[in-house]
Amino acid sequence: MPLTLTPLPNIPLIQPGDDLARMILRALDTSGLQLETGDILVLTQKIVSKAEGRLVHLPTISPSPAALELAEKSGKDPRLAELILRESNAILRTRPGSVIVEHRLGFVCANAGIDQSNVAENGATCSEWVLLLPENPDKSAAQIRARLEAATPWQGQAGKRIGVMIIDSHGRAWRIGTVGMVIGLSGLPGIVDLRGTTDLSGYTLQITIVGAADELAAAASLVIGQAAEGTPVVHVRGFPYPLREGSLKELLRPKDQDMFR
Amino acid sequence: MPLTLTPLPNIPLIQPGDDLARMILRALDTSGLQLETGDILVLTQKIVSKAEGRLVHLPTISPSPAALELAEKSGKDPRLAELILRESNAILRTRPGSVIVEHRLGFVCANAGIDQSNVAENGATCSEWVLLLPENPDKSAAQIRARLEAATPWQGQAGKRIGVMIIDSHGRAWRIGTVGMVIGLSGLPGIVDLRGTTDLSGYTLQITIVGAADELAAAASLVIGQAAEGTPVVHVRGFPYPLREGSLKELLRPKDQDMFR
């Protein structure tokens, strides 16, 4: 079965308080797509954060001494440095222009995932606003999923069983270029454990745990692109693994098993 | 435009010397797919390596003192340790069960990408054979691409302009689960540089370089799965960036810019 990723058209610019599930249902309708069991919807972090009101106006932030020090070392705005510290469990590396942290959600990323681009309210361009990641992306995904599934019993049919993921673009160790990665999910596996399965020759597989949700995040990110707040939701059909309950936590390598902190 | 990834059926088990381009053309034909300009074909490392005769019989390998030491620290077979050393520029981390290297091709991966699963010759199951990565995957991709493009002027039409990628499954720092990553490519961008572009609010983008080929590699890996030597080739339609000449080197972060070696 082919894997098909379709960007949904006509998602408007998101304002705090917007009902994303309703907008997605409308966009699916416009696209002539009906949700089927096994489908997955992938949303960018940015629209979820905006809908949840995670915008912060920098002039409201007073940098602590630690933030002033981080700003000095990184060249970041001290108020942004303050937010990076508040949003992080630990600072892993600091260089001019670059702060790599363990986010409070547990993953490693730059600048605590705080977005300075395209976060203006009401269409105004203003770099004094920044956007934090959603408070609890697994929960955000679950809420959107519940709304979408509740809307799917059409014409007497049973409701559909779908998955929802929230993704962001992350830099990586060793390789150039950002790729889409999951920051929250509901209703699909984060990882798929193939231990015990054998390949066509009957030899037990060496590679045993696949980062399936991250692979899908990368695929969706390709479709969304970077400049396209116009297509911040992707409909996926043909995900090859069985759906189940899942969590971001599956994808987080415990510190004591991580050789590259 | 949707992104569609279709695994090609009926690719036979590959033997050294096999003509992959011819097998792909036959499989496309079986699938009713005709190559169009902008299409990309993604191949697993394993079939390219096998076709190129990169199988090594472990009893032919004599471990050096350095290999014996690496075997001791990692718990690997000393002959495999010898091959890992030969295939690597540097050993980055060694722990029981785990050797992370900079491969001679420049990327960071486990065990120098040497595959012990499913590498039997003539269908026999035998763990004494291992499979090295292709000698020069960019070149392998270019050769397959040239063959496929040469076959595409049908019925008086001009030849088609396509891309070809070779991928492998890599572990990652910080996150659990392997994901597909490019190890060689021809005819498509490794990275896409969005510097200078603006988003919908007119704000200059923060995220400026996208690992587009790696995003596609992850997507293709999802379709291929891990156990499926039966579908080691994926046809891609709808890659959203313009095709151009490209190279693996675009994706390799220079050592002095890498904070996580």
Instruction: Nearest chain A residue to B100 by CA: give it.
Output: A259
Q: How far is B198 from chain A (nearest CA, A)?
A: 7
User: Considering only CB atoms, which chain A residues are within 8 Å of B230?
Assistant: 200
pLDDT class of A169 with cuts at 50, 70, 90: very high
Q: Which pLDDT belongs to residue A199?
A: 59
Q: Which residues pair with A166 in a beta bridge?
A: A43, A184
Chain A interface disruption, residue of B175, B226, B249, most A CBs within 10 A: B175
User: Considering only CB atoms, which chain B residues are within 8 Å of A214?
Assistant: 175, 177, 179, 218
Q: Domains of chain A by range and CATH? A: 1-53+135-250 (3.30.1330.100), 55-132 (3.90.1660.10)
Mean pLDDT in residue range B23-38 = 94
pLDDT class of B80 with cuts at 50, 70, 90: very high
- CA dist A66 → A58, A88, A105, B24, B210 (Å): 17, 13, 21, 58, 32
Please write the tens of the pLDDT for every residue from B205-223: 555 899 999 999 999 999 9
Helix (H) or strand (E) holding A221: helix A212-224
Mean pLDDT in residue range B147-175 = 91
Look at A125 and B207 and tell me if their CB atoms are within 8 Å. no
Look at A177 and B117 and tell me if their CB atoms are within 8 Å. no
Nearest CB partner across the interface for A199, out of B3, B172, B227:
B227
Q: Which pLDDT belongs to residue A23?
A: 96
Q: How far is A12 from chain B (nearest CA, A)?
A: 11
Q: Which pLDDT belongs to residue A197?
A: 66
Nearest CB partner across the interface for A215, out of B118, B180, B191:
B180
Q: How far is B194 from chain A (nearest CA, A)?
A: 8
* Residues B16, B249 contacting (CB under 8 angstroms): no
pLDDT at A134 over 90: yes
Helix (H) or strand (E) holding B148: helix B137-150
Name the average pLDDT for chain A.
90
Query: What was the ipTM of the complex prediction?
Result: 0.94
Give the length of chain B. Answer: 261
pLDDT class of A115 with cuts at 50, 70, 90: confident
Rounded-to-integer distance, Cα B217 and Cα B211, Å: 10
Look at B203 and A117 and tell me if their CB atoms are within 8 Å. yes
Nearest CB partner across the interface for A175, out of B117, B200, B214:
B214
Who contacts A8 (Cβ-Cβ below 8 Å, separation ≥6)?
A24, A27, A28, A30, A31, A33, A231, A233, A234, A235
Mean pLDDT in residue range B171-176 = 96
pLDDT at A190 over 60: yes
Look at A211 and B179 and tell me if their CB atoms are within 8 Å. yes
Q: Which pLDDT belongs to residue A226?
A: 56
Q: Which pLDDT belongs to residue A10?
A: 83
Please write the tens of the pLDDT for every residue from A97-110: 889 999 999 999 99
The pTM is what?
0.94
Q: Which pLDDT belongs to residue B37?
A: 96
pLDDT class of A196 with cuts at 50, 70, 90: low
Q: Which pLDDT belongs to residue B183?
A: 98
Look at B209 and A181 and tell me if their CB atoms are within 8 Å. no
Who contacts A51 (Cβ-Cβ below 8 Å, separation ≥6)?
A14, A15, A16, A17, A18, A19, A20
Q: How far is B157 from chain A (nearest CA, A)?
A: 27
User: Considering only CB atoms, which chain B residues are within 8 Å of A207?
Assistant: 117, 169, 178, 226
Q: Which pLDDT belongs to residue A78?
A: 97
User: Considering only CB atoms, which chain B residues are within 8 Å of A129?
Assistant: none
Here the tokens at position A58 are 């920098």
Please write the tens of the pLDDT for every residue from A4-13: 999 998 888 8
Name the average pLDDT for chain B.
90
pLDDT at B163 over 80: yes
Per cent of chain B over pLDDT 90 is: 77
Look at B191 and A177 and tell me if their CB atoms are within 8 Å. yes
Which one has a higher pLDDT value, A10 or B177?
Answer: B177
Nearest CB partner across the interface for A173, out of B117, B229, B258:
B258
| Greatest distance between any 2 Cα atoms in chain B | 63
Find the range with the poorest average confidence among A157-166, A195-204, B220-229: A195-204
Q: How far is A156 from chain B (nearest CA, A)?
A: 30
Q: Which pLDDT belongs to residue A203?
A: 52
